[in-house]
Structure 1
Amino acid sequence: MKISRVIAIAAILLYACTTEGQPLVVKADKPTAAIQPTMWGIFFEDINLAADGGLYAELVKNRSFEFASPLMGWTIQQASPGTGNILVTNRLETDSANPRYIRVTRNTAKGKFGLTNEGFRGMGIKQNEQYNFTVWAKSETGNIELHVQLVDSTGRALGESQPINISGNNWQQYKTSFTATATELKARMNVWFEGEGVADIDMLSLFPQHTWKQRPNGLRADLVQLLADMKPGFLRFPGGCIVEGRELATRYQWKKTVGPVEDRQVIVNRWNTEFAHRPTPDYFQSFGLGFFEYFQVAEDIGATPLPILNCGMACQFNSAEVVDTTQLDPYIQDALDLIEFANGDVSTKWGHLREVMGHPDPFNLKLLGIGNEQWGPQYVERYKIFTKAIKYKYPEIQLVNSVGPSPDDERFHYLNDTLRKLNADILDEHYYSSPSWFQNNANRYDDYDRNGPKIFAGEYAAQSVATVSPLNKNNWLCALSEAAFMTGLERNADIVQMASYAPLFAHVEGWQWTPDLIWFDNLNSFGTPNYYVQKLFANNKGDNVVAITSDNKTLKGSDSLYASAVTSTANEVILKIVNTSSRSISKQISIDTKRKLAAKATVTTLQSNDLNTVNSIESPKDISPLVSEAEIKSRQLNLVLHPYSFTVIHIKMQ
């Protein structure tokens, strides 16, 4: 950490002799609203290589040869022509989910012949890590062996398996493990075939041993840990526009993402050609990370699951294709079956599948999203049909409903008015806008109808340049502005009951959209300044909102200050104060309570004098929390709020 930053932030914590203006008064004994356990959560979408090549720890790209180009990601290696050949075979009539495999022919026992897989922008390999390789194969004629080798960019070996002898003419899975001898950011995998004969090969897979909770077919541990550290209240999955698909044929269908991994149908990712500035033609979805895994990781990190389902509408920014309302039954049945999969007894069809997959206990699903970012009368028509069917069978399930892609246009106002009249449960509002918009809208929910639907701030992120611009950065100005806005969400927790930044993940060499909360390469990951803002709110959520005012006025931008306050059942007062100005502000804070307070408060601060500061792989914590203490006297403490700072203050009560 830079010395200048330490000195600057230390200034915040000084017990000041003089303060500016009216003191801040916290009514700690008078709660105004309960805060839901779901208040601060996570929005996951498979964009920016977030699943394959990211959270899903599989290292092999196109492991089952189901990409549009069957050998995409693979290169044939042979010492001389005629050593062998590869034939892509399609068995669509007998295996529609995984129709392709390769037939490997070795014409001579001499000379090298094999395949090289490039991974997802390379393969991140760690020294002394065990790697587990599996392959489905069967022998046709002769005797074929294969072995796996990891190499760096120069061809230097990083680890190698023992040979696997392929025997028998029935498909079976073979396994082997080996340990890497060096660390490499962009390794490749060679699969060498030896002997003479013909063998059929499918589902070549390579995982590190140390996945999250050491699970086979598991998740990348460092990325899940960053999520767990946030202590999220919910996990929304599988995303936003990914749910819709560019057209209905490529929509997300949850039933095709559960069961044995080898039976999950690969489809193109709808983000692969969405943006002209970031074409990614090799972006597909293997669904190794499917609905079972989403439910499982939500449970792992203590988050309420929030799945979003297609409502018979493709992305309206793309094809705007809809299924006729007379043909909605399969879509509705998918929703009903999903609830059974999550909550049903193991004697039911889908509850039994959950048990077979290793989770006999229910996942305790309470929330379900109908459509992603739809708008217009056609969405309302489908919303009514879905709601009637789901509420009839599962009245306890709370439904999350779209109010469009913008927080204030005609599409929003139409849906907001209409769904309120229909007594919708939860309205999902999205905001991608400038930092100034976030600062100016900290009061957005102050005058909302307290008797209407609850609000899910489902997608938000300040845009440093413009929405969809490839030049957007996760800089401190954006994060600070989001913190200011979030004080308004927290202050209105009686109606705003869920909130999540979006998108969540981005590969530094494989992104389509920026800004994003967490960035990673094949070996490393880091939280942005925005991540630390979200984490501080979620880790300091509290249980009840209490008032924090200056001269009996709420702090929502006056004198560049924004603030919210909560109390917790752990007998704490927790204050969040944002200073968006370029000057230090000295403030006296008075805690109005009959209870005795601790002698010192814990103060956690995010701050930078440079609003353009970002974190990076090389400098992952240029902006990160600094913790210290401040003295409390007579239920008061004085703080110097540094320029461009977000401060969280913990005060223990008896």
Structure 2
Amino acid sequence: MKVRTIALSTLLLSSLGASAQVTVDVDAAQKGKAVSPMLYGIFYEDINHAADGGLYAELVRNRSFEDNDKAPEHWKAKGNASLQLISKGLLNKVQGKALEVTFNGDGDGFNNEGYWGIPAVQGRTYKLSFWAKGKLKGKLKAYLSCGCGTKVFASTEFEGKQFSNKWTKYEATLTSKTNHPKALLWFAATGKGKLAFDVVSLMPPTFNNRENGMRPELASMLYDLHPKFFRFPGGCFVEGQQSPDNAFRWERTIGPIEERPGHWNVNWGYRTTDGIGFHEYLQLAEDLGSKPLYVVNVGIWHGGFTPVDSIQPWIDETLNALEYANGPVTSKYGALRAKNGHPAPFNIEYLEIGNENNQPNPREQSDNYYKRFQLFRDAVLAKYPNMHIIGNVASWGTDDPTWDSDEKVELLDEHYYRTPNWFADNFRKYDTYNRQGPDIYVGEYAVTQGFGNVGNLNAALGEAVYMMGMENNSDIVKMASYAPIFANVNETRWRPDMIQFNATRALGTPSYYVQRMMANNVGTRIMAVTQNNPYKVNPDDIKVKPATCAVGVGTWGTNASFEEKALTLEEGATSQPVAKAEVKGTWKKEGNVVKQTSWEEGTVLLNNKLFTSDEYTYKVRARKDKGHEGFLVVFNYVDEDNYCWLNLGGWGNGQHAIEQVIDGSKAQIAMTPGRVEEGRWYDVELHVKGDSVYTSIDGKQIFAAKLKPSTFANFFSSATYDEASGEYIVKLVNTSTEATTARINLKNHKSSKGRVIRLTGEKGTSENTIEQLTNVVPTEEQVSPDADGVTLDIPANSLNIVRIK
């Protein structure tokens, strides 16, 4: 069923046809304040296998055999070989396990599957290293092969007489003679013996050819952002969970990889080798041409904290880290940095004290934050008086976080995870901020509702509008970084993320391309812009309820059963059966009951009636059968981008809500705490009258709400001047579903030539996928200005950056 109603965006821009255009006036003679030279950077956190199995180039998974105390996860025996974890006679004090392999005959061996496959690339040379001890007759062959182990893509051999009862490091190179996306690393013996293995590593070529370095294509995507700063190591990763030992402890992450214990990344559900450690973070910042921004732990972790009068060891840890990064080679930690291959200081200039540790509720990783901040700040500035110090403000629960202390702070870190509407609506958020400071660092922001599957164009355009607002106010908003960056498509714990990847491919979401376009077209002076829109629509006059729609039921990562009881329409309403109602999920009919048995998110089964009725009542019996959420009752359904639903037991079975989707952008209209019991039938009634919605469960009303028109569809503009190139940079965002034209009037300037860099797609919900990387990518074309400016066609759903010489 594909029946469209008149969407809000169409109403807002219906007059913007060939006979109407937006005019944007820029006076070249009126150059404003300087754009912050530090405005756009990147925020890195080990989330979604962003490090191991991601940016970190290591191809062997569970290389030190520490991932599981009972079995060597991701390693398998071949032939009659036997594998056993051992905990005695180990390589060193930081290694807790090693793998003992008994070879009982020719061809016996074992393999490692890598991170969802090891990519063998024809002509690529890999560096193999491992530690081993024991005795072996014959030879030990190491090779890349397919799952069966019979086709050899690359190989090397070690004579059995090389091995002894003393731990020794062995190294070799392997060059692949073919391509295979999911190879395995194999070891096989030609004779009998018993060897213990530890820290088995296979490294491909790395970014800038660094030892223990980064995956080139992922690091190159970061480089293309030209980040002014690099914030690390998180995020919740800084704090850890369960105990202070689970926090990021920098000294445990430096030196040779066999001397790093690694730790469980409890916050995000997997073990990390700490192969990307403190030194690698600093080296990567240098390689990206960005300033390192280090986030330090203030003695708080998820689930506990060190009392504020006992945090001196945490302060000492921070000062030691700064000495490692900034100290001379004559200092203790500066000498250690030189020993690790970097005699020159890395020069940390930016330090954030804590991560999201200033919530009003002290149980939310927040205890005496202002006192902790003061103690850290004073200790750091006493030794590094020019350090830029960043403080925390409330990171959730408010759109207007404040610094409620007399303690002096230079920058405040604001975090916003919101809808495309919110970001567009907050285009002018910073216009009214106090210019006396503190300055603002928007350290984490992203559309996290209404972004589609991996990140759609609507989300990116909302973020682009917000970034334009930050640029306009970069006298107060000094820095900003999107979050988070990376996700391995095989294990995504947080969505969306602006770079998605598997072992062989990487995709940039539309949000990634917005970040790249904006960062590469900042300018140096803010220009005043006067925009004239040939339309004005009062959102209060817009009717949201579609003329023709359908109803249905659904689930979100949960199994549930439904029995439709009644659909009552107003007198005079018309209806007709649909030839094929849209279905998502796995549905099974048993008598009058339908069951949804898959674990998909956003499953839908529509009633087979398409109706026209301004008022209707829909009654359903519903039961949660299994899973973490409740169930959904769908209404006002037009198509997959325009509908509403009553979400009962959402957000991990903790909230009820009415959610509304317009042109793929989702918003919560009403919310209340609530849960549903597994195995219990509920009687749900939903009554719609125009834009008013009334819902009840078992006869008790839980919502009386009114649907809201989307304010997303609009036209936004901003401008800067680039003193280096002599170009005026005008940014135009059309968030509507209608194309228009725009006239840029550049006063007091004779235009000579120009170009436009554009990001657009088939519709606002368009996305890139790991199979289709280029659905939404930037394009560039030349434009021909006249003496006073330029006129352009502006596609629907587009970011347009015009550079006029």
Q: 1:537 to 1:142 in 2, by over 3 A?
A: closer
- The answer on whether the counterparts of 1:401 and 1:426 sit within 8 Å (CA) in structure 2 is yes
8 Å CA contact 1:581, 1:643 repeated in 2:
yes
- What corresponds to 1:127 in structure 2? 122
Is the CA contact (8 Å cut-off) linking 2:41 and 2:481 kept in structure 1? yes
Give 1:282-297 correspondences, 5 Å limit.
Answer: 283-297=270-284
Q: Is the 8 A contact 1:464 1:475 kept in 2?
A: no
Give aligned pairs, total: 603
Bigger RCO (CA 8 Å, 6+ sep):
1
Please name the residue that 1:278 is paired with. none
Contact 2:751/2:804, CA 8 A, preserved across alignment: yes
Q: In the alignment, is residue 338 of structure 1 matched against residue 305 of structure 2?
A: no
1:97 and 2:83 correspond: no
Question: Which residue, 534, 539, 552 being the options, matches 2:520?
Answer: 539
SS in 2 for 1:481: helix
- For 1:473, the equivalent position in structure 2 comes to 454
Question: Is the 1:47–1:512 Cα contact (8 Å) retained in structure 2?
Answer: yes
Query: What corresponds to 1:585 in structure 2?
Result: 740
The reply on whether 1:88 has 2:70 as its aligned counterpart is: no
Aligned-pair CA distance for 1:69: 3.0
1:381 CA drift (Å): 2.2
Aligned partner of 1:510 among 475, 491, 495: 491
Residues in 2 aligned to 1:463 and 1:78: alpha-carbon distance in whole angstroms: 45
Q: Superposition pairs for residues 300-319 of structure 1, below 5 Å?
A: 300-315=287-302, 319=303
Asked if the contact 1:127–1:181 (Cα under 8 Å) also holds between the matched residues in 2, the reply is: yes
- Kindly indicate whether residue 56 of structure 2 is the aligned counterpart of residue 56 of structure 1: yes
Q: CA, structure 1 residues 552+578, in 2 after alignment: closer, same or farther (shift >3 Å)?
A: closer
Establish whether residue 463 from structure 1 lines up as the match of residue 617 from structure 2: no
2:517 pairs with 1:521: no
Q: What one-letter code is carried by the residue in structure 1 that aligns with 2:345?
A: P
2:374 is matched with which residue: 366, 373, 384?
A: 384
Return the letter of the residue paired with 1:152. Answer: C
Residues 463, 473 of structure 1: 8 Å contact kept: no
Q: Compared with structure 1, are the counterparts of its residues 71 and 32 closer, same or farther at alpha carbon in structure 2 (3 Å cutoff)? A: farther
Deviates more, 1:340-349 or 1:197-206: 197-206
Q: Is the 8 A contact 1:125 1:180 kept in 2?
A: yes
Q: Residue 591 of structure 1 contacts residue 635 of structure 1 at CA under 8 Å; is this kept in 2? A: yes
Q: Percent identity?
A: 35
Once the two structures are superposed, residues 407-464 of structure 1 have per-residue CA deviations (whole angstroms, 9 ceiling, x without a partner) of 726xx64xx2314x32211111111111111111111101001111111111111124
- Partner SS, residue 68 of structure 2: coil
Q: Which stretch shifts more, 305-314 or 67-76?
A: 67-76
Q: Deviations over 1:150-208 (max 9, x none)?
A: 22234333222223543344322111112112222222111224434443321111111
Q: Between Structure 1 and Structure 2, which shows a larger proportion of helix residues?
A: 1
CA deviation after TM superposition for structure 1 residue 516, in Å: 0.5
Asked if 1:232 corresponds to 2:227, the answer is yes
> How does 1:168-187 map onto structure 2 within 5 Å?
168-187=164-183
- Whether 1:369 aligns to 2:352 is yes
Q: Which has the higher strand share?
A: 2
1:444 to 424, 429, 437: 429
> Which residues of structure 1 form unaligned runs of 5+?
1-15, 274-282
5 Å-filtered alignment, 1:100-179, equals 100-106=97-103, 108=104, 110-139=105-134, 141=135, 143=137, 145-155=139-149, 156-165=151-160, 166-179=162-175
The match for 2:714 among 542, 560, 563 is: 560
Contact 2:308 2:368 (8 Å CA) reproduced: no
| Counterpart-to-counterpart distance in 1, 2:722 and 2:250 | 38
1:517-563 deviation per Cα after TM superposition (whole angstroms, max 9, x unaligned): 0011101111111111000000011112111122699x9x8981112
Code of the aligned partner of 2:727 = E
- Asked if structure 2 preserves the Cα contact closer than 8 Å seen for 1:35 and 1:544, the reply is yes
Q: Partner letter of residue 576 of structure 1?
A: K
Structure 2 counterpart of 1:548: 529
Check conservation: 2:527, 2:721, Cα contact below 8 A: yes
Q: Secondary structure of 1:583's partner?
A: coil
Task: Give the Å deviation of 1:265.
Answer: 1.4
Deviation at 1:602, TM superposition (A): 0.7
For 1:9, the equivalent position in structure 2 comes to none
C-alpha distance 304-357 of structure 1, shift in aligned 2 (>3 A): same
SS at match of 1:623: coil
Match of 1:244 in 2: 239
The one of 391, 395, 402 equivalent to 1:405 is 395
User: What one-letter code is carried by the residue in structure 2 that aligns with 1:396?
Assistant: N
What is the distance in 2 between the residues matched to 1:358 and 1:181?
A: 33
**Shift in CA distance, 430/55, structure 1 to aligned 2, threshold 3 Å:** same
1:123 shift after superposition? 1.4
**Is contact 1:114-1:190 (8 Å) kept?**
yes
8 Å CA contact retained: 2:263, 2:273: yes
Contact 2:142–2:156 under 8 Å retained in 1: yes
In structure 2, do the counterparts of structure 1 residues 71 and 207 end up closer, same or farther at CA, with 3 Å as the change threshold? farther
State the distance in 2 between where 1:68 and 1:510 align: 18
Residue type of the alignment partner of 2:175:
T
Q: 2:469 aligns with which of 465, 485, 488?
A: 488
Q: Distance in 2 between matches of 1:27 and 1:310?
A: 47
TM-score, with length taken from structure 1: 0.87
Q: Which runs of 5+ in 2 are unaligned?
A: 1-16, 361-366, 537-710
